[in-house]
Amino acid sequence: MTVTSKISGWGGYPKHEAQLLMPPSFSALKAEVQKQKTLIPRGMGRSYGDSANASVVLDTTYCDHFLEFDANVGLLTVEAGITLREILKVIVPKGWFLPVTPGTSYVTLGGAIASDVHGKNHHIAGTFGQHVKSMSVLLGTDDVVTASPEENVDLFQATCGGMGLTGVIITATVQLTPIRSSYINQRAIKTDCIESACEAFEANSNATYSVAWIDCLARGKDLGRSVLMLGEHAVSGGLELNTKDSIAIPIYTPSALLNRMTIKAFNGAYWYKAKHNKTQSVPLMSYFYPLDAIGSWNKFYGKAGFMQFQFVLPKADGVANMRLLLTEIAENGGGSFLAVLKQFGEPNNNLLSFPIEGYTLALDFKMTTETIRLLNKLYNIVSDFGGRIYLTKDALMQEALFKRTYPKWREFELIRQKYGAIGKFSSEQSKRLGLA
Amino acid sequence: MKKVLIIGVTSAIAEHCARIWATRGYELYLVGRNEERVQAIAADLKVRGAAQVDSHCIDLNEMDYHAALLNSAESTMNGIDTVLIAHGTLSNQKLCEQSIEEMLAEIRTNALSTISLLTLIANRFEAKQAGTIAILSSVAGDRGRATNYVYGSAKAMITAFTSGLRQRLHKSSVAVVTIKPGFVDTPMTAEFKKGLLWTKPSSVARTITKAIDKRKDEVYAPAYWWGIMLLINSIPTKLFKRLTKK
């Protein structure tokens, strides 16, 4: 008897009937991969769209053990199903931090690699994959191989950012970053339009962390008004880490609560409340993971769910093009409580890795048919500007646009073929994008 | 620093209790059947901060070895403060209805092997007048239901047995903590449709470790199952027997 349940990504759209496999050990996991014709690995299900949706889904979250942690040099080896949150509980008190972290600690390490995630320090540290020393990958051929920047380099570059389509990441070794405090010194810089926001990024490119909250409903001369948050690791305050459990939101709130009025009011209040050039010391957890304090904030968008839209535009003409896109969004959008702007540094060699040098913007849209229409339009504008969409947040991209904006897809497919992944690892997203 | 013996550590609930204790720097002795998994868990607990982790792989249905197992744990850790007994299988009810052999095997694993261990541990703790014994029973043991009464009756035996044991050991300052988890989302229950009442093992483990810290008697995990079971137990049998799925 096969039991299926309805699964979806963090955005709650689209939903898919899936058989969920939960192997409790590596050998059980290997047996499942052997047995199934085709499947996709899944961690915490925090990618937003359908990249971890498939008819057979391999839940890796019970293969979540630490293997080794050398606190002298900051080398950590873990099973890939472990969450960044669990890792932080062990490493921060010993004076180490993740070299790169996304905006939630509730992702698995395997997911962080498969999405080649970036953080507020991309301009300095690059993506997560750039700090992975080595990993072991279970292939569609049943072999387990090592992939690293030295060994099976092609597999390594396809797996970092490969959306789980090359094999199952079993273990990984990561080089951590030393810290002397579990606090961040944060400084806010208020800017009154998109041009000055981008200038502020440029002027502060030596800051370790930088990210801007942006008011995506402000129009005209206020368009793109932002609060740029700079961060540096503090040197005092101790290494204690507060990882209290989040407040759970057990039910879906009526999505009508999120409308143009409430969002506009929220964003306006946020902007006026922010204090220019004020430095304050904030705990790591609230600096990096503010939304983790609220259990399932995705339920605020109601049962229909939402879509997160994240794109990057190349630096050349980036500011002017960003203004055009923001205008489009402000004119049409249902808008978003949280819109985030970030400057990306140099790209890496991973084949489907998202970042290119330029500006990235991420924002949420409540799921409606109007949203789909708008996003399809925005996708095309982004592509025309030479930019691309983040696969981890996508549920809409069409094959042609994907292949145009991720030109290394051919090489990716050749490597998948070489390592026996074709036909074995496949998601709803990979099918849509025309990957075999 | 406490010394804890964890029997059936590959159960997701027991493993998450072990993680909490490792973070507190406890000394742990792990018992399980699957060597690969016990080794992985042991390495994990060391990284999480356990002062010392030792392990022993054994099929707990081999009851002749129970005394030797306890000796080994006691001598390795130089004493035991707390025991958590968590091993078990989720019986296949349909199979148990057709095969007496299958049914008795389930009773052996889920009830007899546990009370064998309980008897030995109780005598040792009674002699030293100290210790905490925690056992995973189940809400399924509160009232037999058509869908899983073999598993349920094994757990009912554990609940009744530990209730008596608690009375007996009270004057010896030994605590007996009977834990009744509700629906927990683990690999053991992978085949079930999950609804609102399902809980993650990490959250159940927090309830359990707190109950052990406070040397409580009987706890439901999560606590709201107390209310649910009160309701279920109050349904008259005349009505209850009709409440089956078609």
The answer on A239 and A372 residing in a single domain is yes
Note down the domain range covering B140. 3-240
Q: Which of residues 9-28 of B touch A (CB under 8 A)?
A: 10, 12, 23
Task: Determine, yes or no, domain membership for B246.
Answer: no
Tell me, yes or no, if A242 comes closer than 8 A to chain B by beta carbon.
no
Residue of B nearest to A90 (CA): B48
Q: What is the DSSP letter of B186?
A: S
pLDDT at B203: 92
DSSP SS3 for A342:
strand
Mind listing the pLDDT tens digit for each residue in A49-67?
A: 999 999 999 999 999 999 9
Nearest CA in chain A to B24: A90
- Give the integer Cα–Cα distance in Å for B131 and B119: 14
Q: Is A248 touching B (CB cutoff 8 A)?
A: no
Specify the CATH number for the domain of residue A112: 3.30.465.10
Do B132 and B209 contact (CB within 8 A), yes or no? no
Average pLDDT over residues A171-179: 98
A175 and A188 together in one domain:
no
Provide, as residue numbers in chain B, all residues whose Cβ is less than 8 Å from the Cβ of A69: 47
Q: Is residue A328 part of a domain?
A: yes
Please report, for the domain that includes residue A336, its CATH number: 3.30.70.2520
What's the average model confidence in pLDDT over A268-277? Answer: 75
Sheet containing strand B82-85, edge to edge, reads: B52-57, B27-32, B3-7, B82-85, B132-136, B175-181, B218-221
A350 in the same domain as A209 = yes
pLDDT digits (tens, 9 = 90+) for A102-129: 999 999 999 999 999 999 999 999 999 9
* Beta carbons of A24 and B193 less than 8 Å apart: no
Q: Are residue A99 and residue A166 in the same domain, yes or no?
A: yes
Question: Is the model's pLDDT at B196 over the cut of 70?
Answer: yes
Percentage of chain B modeled with pLDDT above 90: 91
Domain shared by A216 and A153, yes or no: no
Contact across the interface for B43 and A66, Cβ inside 8 Å: yes
Question: Which SS3 state, helix, strand or coil, does residue A423 take?
Answer: coil
Please state the domain count of chain B. Answer: 1
CA distance A179 to A93: 10
Rounded to a whole number, what is the distance in Å from the CA of A87 to chain B's nearest CA? 9
Residues A374 and A234 placed together within one structural domain of the fold? yes
Residues in chain B with CB shorter than 8 Å from the CB of A65 are 40-41, 43-44
Residue A12 lies in a domain: no
Domain-ending residue, one of A154, A179, A204: A179
Residue of A nearest to B45 (CA): A66
Provide the pLDDT for residue A250.
61
**Domain stops at, among A131, A146, A179:** A179
**Structural domain containing residue A222:** 183-394
Residue B37 has pLDDT above 90, yes or no: yes
Q: What is the pLDDT of residue B186?
A: 86
Q: Give how far B86 is from chain A: nearest CA, Å.
A: 16
A70: nearest CA partner in chain B:
B47
What is the reported pLDDT for A3?
Answer: 75
Residue with tokens 């990504």: A9
Predicted pLDDT of residue A279: 87
Round to whole Å and give the CA distance between A134 and A136.
7
Look-up of token digits 């890796």: A60
Within a domain: residue B223? yes
pLDDT at A332 over 90: no
Q: Give a yes or no: residue B76 inside a domain.
A: yes
Closest Cα in chain B to A92: B48
**For residue B238, what is the DSSP state?**
H
A26 is a domain residue = no
Domain co-membership, A343 together with A372? yes
pLDDT in tens, B123-150: 999 999 999 999 999 999 999 999 999 9
- B153-168 exposure pattern, b = at least 16 Cβ within 10 A, e = fewer: bbbbbbbebbeebbee
pLDDT of residue A263: 72
- Chain A residues in contact with B37 by the CB 8 A cut-off are 24-25
**Where are the extended beta strands (E) located within A80-221?**
96-97, 132-138, 144-147, 168-175, 177-178, 183-191, 209-214
User: Residues A163, A352: contact at Cβ < 8 Å?
Assistant: yes
pLDDT tens, residue by residue, B42-65: 999 999 999 999 999 999 999 999
Q: CB–CB of B193 and A250 under 8 A?
A: no
Mean of all residue pLDDT scores within chain A: 92
| Closest CB from A26, A65, A90 relative to B43 | A65
Residues A197 and A175 in one domain: no
Q: Are residues A169 and A230 in the same domain?
A: no
Q: Is the pLDDT of residue A220 over 60?
A: yes
Tell me how many residue pairs between chain A and chain B have CB atoms under 8 A apart: 48
Rounded (10°) CA dihedral A424, A429, A430, A433 = 160
pLDDT single digits (tens) B69-111? 999 999 999 999 999 999 999 889 999 999 999 999 999 999 9
Which residues on chain A are in Cβ contact (under 8 Å) with B191? Answer: 1, 3
Q: How many domains is chain A partitioned into structurally? A: 2
